[in-house]
Amino acid sequence: MSFCIAIDGPAAAGKGTISRAVAKHFGFAHLDTGLLYRATGAKTFEGLTPIEAARSLTARDLDRPDLRSGDAGQAASRVAAIPEVRAALVDFQRAFARREGGAVLDGRDIGTVICPDAEVKLYVTATDEVRAARRHRELVDSGEAVTVEEVLAELRDRDERDSARATAPLKPAPDAIVIDTTEMNIEEAVARVIALIAEARRQ
């Protein structure tokens, strides 16, 4: 039996951490769809066009060590605005979503485009400042020299690009439950989401 959980939201709102915890709790498979776009963007560094990169993507590409870098994140946002790139990755995501045993997908257009029929749709967000502080810690921990102000500017630039694109813009699905993690720690956010999903599974 399939059961799909779609979790969307902007960068550094906590959706990835929540998605992994939820998948582990329920024994579901997890797909960070942002990695598909990060890997596609990273492959353009090697001279491929975005469309060539998307069409040639393999599971091995998702294990690249540079996918969490700031450059990969910016490249992901740029290639994600290209309709042909998104089209090349849709079938992979939809097949994953309906696999037996349940699936959790997190990204920016899961509930609106990829899985509009998902059993649970969530939109995880937080203030710009809180998201920038979280992302800054991640980048510093990974060895990047960057200021909070630079991260905040990049996040806002990416939010604008993701929200304004013509194809699959970043926005909550009409029936998504919005989870604001600004004042939550990760344990509280995960507990809230697990409770919502458990309730949906009982219905």
Detail the residues annotated as belonging to a binding site: 9-17
Residue numbers belonging to the annotated binding site for ATP = 9-17
> Is residue 102 within 8 Å of 3, Cβ to Cβ?
yes
Strand-strand pairing, 103-107 and 29-32: parallel
> Is residue 45 within 8 Å of 80, Cβ to Cβ?
no
The CB-based long-range contact list for 175-178 (8 Å cut-off, 24+ gap) reads 175/111, 175/121, 176/6, 176/8, 176/111, 176/121, 176/122, 176/123, 177/120, 177/121, 177/122, 177/123, 178/122, 178/123, 178/125
